[in-house]
A and B are shown apart, each in its own frame.
Chain A
Amino acid sequence: MNVTEIIEGLVVLLVVAGALLTVISAIGALRLPDIYTRSHAISKSTTLGIMLILTGTLLHFWFRHDHVNSRLLLAIVFIFLTSPVSAHLISRAAYYSGVRPWEGTVRDDLAERRETLAKSAKR
């Protein structure tokens, strides 16, 4: 095995792992009961999945075509920064607009805060 084959194997591994993680997050979006667990499944595993696919692409173009694409590096950083924040904002908007968590939930630390916000919104 020479270096090219090792790199090719690594690229294949990264892209397949990324695609699998994305599929798993899609299954999570279908199977999980409420918006918060869905957001947990979607945000984390798609972020990592897309980052793995982009890393595989970066390595492929780097070693096969001798071209370091800095846009891919930037995209990896950008998705890592922004995707969890968007999930946070969507979950928070859902919580404060009154979406109830799954009935098996045992703890709701923000309930008091939500009540005061709802009262101030009514006034």
Chain B
Amino acid sequence: MNELILRTVTAVVTFIIILFGIQLFFAGHYYPGGGFIAGLVTAGALVLLLLAFDIQTVKTMVPVNYRMLIGVGLLFALGTGLGGVVFDVPFLTHAHGHVMLPVLGDVSLHTAVLFDLGVYLVVVGVTMTIIETIGEEE
């Protein structure tokens, strides 16, 4: 059947959803948001792509192995925890401070963002693994 309207709108709307997910991720420290909800929103954008196109097309569009994504996210979370141990403070102690970056100037950075990135990757990976596994079963 002709899916022109759905596909055209999906092409426009997916970018808005992914941008909203990124905004939720980076706003998480000061406003409502964070890794979990940003991961779910990003997975939602990918599910919209799955609804508009078939599973093979989406795999070529977004060539990501979601099971690897879970592992990488867990490594990020573990790495930020072990970073505290390296500097002789308790496990999962976070550090923060102001850093001068070449283009962006004075930026306030916190290692909790890396932990949040791990949460984000795990949430995207788990959600997409569940949905693709259910979708592939014939």
Contacts and interface: CB of A to CB of B under 8 A. Distances in A.
Interface stretch (B8-16, B54-62, B89-97): B8-16
A81 B1 contact: no
Contacts of B1: 96, 117
Interface in A57-111: 71, 74, 77-78, 81-82, 85, 88-89, 96
B6 A78 contact: no
B20 interface: yes
B20 A85 contact: no
Contacts of A78: 13, 16
A77 B15 CA distance: 13
B17 to A, nearest CB: 8
Contacts of B100: none
A82 B12 CA distance: 10
Contact of B13 (A81, A89, A117): A81
A74 B5 contact: no
B27 to A, nearest CB: 10
Contacts of A89: 5-6
Contacts of B20: 71, 74
B6 A85 contact: yes
Interface in A32-80: 71, 74, 77-78
Contact of A74 (B6, B9, B16): B16
Interface of A: 71, 74, 77-78, 81-82, 85, 88-89, 96, 117
